[in-house]
Structure 1
Amino acid sequence: MTVQLKRPSSLRHFVTPVAVVAVLAVMFAWVATLDLDSIEARTLNAGYLIDRTREHLVLTVVSSALVAVLAIPTAVLAHRVRSRVVRAIVVTLGNIGQATPAVGVVILLAIVWQTGFTTALVSLVAYCFLPVLRNTLTGLEQVDAATREAARGMGMTPNQVLWRIELPLASPVILAGLRTALVFSVGVATIATFINAGGLGDMIVNGLKLQRFSVLLVGAVLVAAIAVLIDWAAGLVEDRVRPRGL
């Protein structure tokens, strides 16, 4: 009975990466059949694709890590204060990034500051901050008050209650917010090309400007593949760290 329950779950975990690899294999097999001109040849080669993918992944991972480092402690502090006014202010500030279109945030920062990787990174953090902040607040608020009181009755300090009770119980909701932020980052990172920050957006924009469908398609499919794989990996982590019984 145990084996029968685990087998579908294992198959579900393998379906996504296998499907992504199959799509990429078909796409590159199709590209190999094309008679590429000089512009396409400079783009559709291993060196260029690896560089753009690496830049895209660095932007995505670093921005998501910064969001986690900044948003989760901010939400914890806002929750500790237990003031609706403070929470409203914090959520409003976090909402500023998403209230503005992503391209607007990127271009505005580039105008008032500078172009390049750092500006794109700040833009991504601002845009992806809200999902993690809101989910962390929601997860902490959903922890049963009786559970907190029981922990305090056992002699735990407020910090011990936070680390041993509240955060573990809130972790599924927090991780769902981080998962959303990661997928957001993959999509928004394509806009980084407008401020000379690299990434796979270069291929999408160049494919559109130069009317090279193959370049556009490869760039778009790679971005979609990264988003799907990151969401899949985040789902695995979410399943692994979820407290038993939840």
Structure 2
Amino acid sequence: MRADYLEFWKNRYPDLLAATGEHLTISLASIALGVAVAVPLGIYLSGSRIRWLRSLVFSVANLFQTIPSLALLAILIPLLGIGMKPAIFALFLYSLLPILRSTYAGFQSVDPSVLEAARGMGFSRSQRLLSIQLPLAFPYIMSGVRLTTVYIISWTTLAALIGAGGLGQLIVSGIGVNKTELIVSASLCAIVLALIFDRALGAVEKFGARRARTERGDASLLHG
């Protein structure tokens, strides 16, 4: 039995490596798009006084979360075809709400009196954003990105159903030919990827939290 497993790993190692590369490409592309859209949007909404716009944006982002993943992929096929494009776009839509919510919460947590004191000392809007608000909100933002990354890596396995490849393709193939070793191996690779990114982003989040505590101390001196 052990020899059979060793032979399996020897034969399937290139396939697992290639599928892992595809899996990472889909996951990281969708997360990067989510960060590029949700973080600036969350920053804008945190400073906006237009309540209906804030409600509209969060409602739309929440709507994407309520659509079943398979249904969303099926809807995108007529628009984007099959392959990586619809998979990345669907996962990008799923990534918006948690990143948007954490960014908004982070910027809302900044003490307005500190910003007012910085304004009185001549800080421009961009200086307040980069020197005070962003460092203090960074742990919140990273918390959302970390959670989203773990979810997206898991959900990317469904991309195989529309021909996008990745580790899900090996899982589907293993189910089709009743190969338990293939199913378990691909699943373990996805789990390991999620754990690695969770630990790495967790370390970044902790570093940001330490920086935020330092910034809060400096902000208190500024306010005082």
Equivalence for 1:245: 213
Per the TM alignment, residue 208 of structure 1 is displaced from its structure 2 partner at its CA by 1.7
- Is the Cα–Cα contact under 8 Å of residues 67 and 132 in structure 1 kept in the other structure? yes
Per the TM alignment, residue 244 of structure 1 is displaced from its structure 2 partner at its CA by 4.8
The normalised TM-score by structure 2 is 0.89
Per the TM alignment, residue 35 of structure 1 is displaced from its structure 2 partner at its CA by 8.2
Query: C-alpha separation between the residues in 2 aligned to 1:239 and 1:208?
Result: 40
The alignment partner of 1:45 has SS state of helix
- Is the Cα–Cα contact under 8 Å of residues 42 and 103 in structure 2 kept in the other structure? yes
The 5 A counterparts of 1:1-246 are 32-34=3-5, 45-242=12-209, 243-245=211-213
Query: C-alpha separation between the residues in 2 aligned to 1:89 and 1:207?
Result: 43
- Is the Cα–Cα contact under 8 Å of residues 31 and 214 in structure 1 kept in the other structure? no
Query: C-alpha separation between the residues in 2 aligned to 1:218 and 1:44?
Result: 12
The alignment partner of 2:5 has SS state of coil
Query: C-alpha separation between the residues in 2 aligned to 1:107 and 1:73?
Result: 29
Provide the alpha-carbon RMSD of the alignment.
1.9
Residues 236, 172 of structure 1: alpha-carbon distance in 2 compared, 3 angstrom cutoff = same
- Is the Cα–Cα contact under 8 Å of residues 117 and 196 in structure 1 kept in the other structure? yes
Equivalence for 2:217: none
Deviations 1:191-218 (A, max 9, x none): 1101111100011111222211111111
Gaps spanning 5+ residues in structure 2: where?
A: 215-224
Size of the alignment, in residue pairs? Answer: 213
Per the TM alignment, residue 62 of structure 1 is displaced from its structure 2 partner at its CA by 1.4
Query: C-alpha separation between the residues in 2 aligned to 1:238 and 1:80?
Result: 24
Gaps spanning 5+ residues in structure 1: where?
A: 1-29
**Aligned-residue identity in percent:** 31
Q: Which amino acid aligns with 1:201?
A: G
- Is the Cα–Cα contact under 8 Å of residues 135 and 212 in structure 2 kept in the other structure? no
- Is the Cα–Cα contact under 8 Å of residues 110 and 119 in structure 1 kept in the other structure? yes
Q: Which amino acid aligns with 2:134?
A: L
The normalised TM-score by structure 1 is 0.81
The alignment partner of 1:123 has SS state of helix
- Is the Cα–Cα contact under 8 Å of residues 97 and 128 in structure 1 kept in the other structure? no
Query: C-alpha separation between the residues in 2 aligned to 1:161 and 1:49?
Result: 47
- Is the Cα–Cα contact under 8 Å of residues 139 and 212 in structure 2 kept in the other structure? no
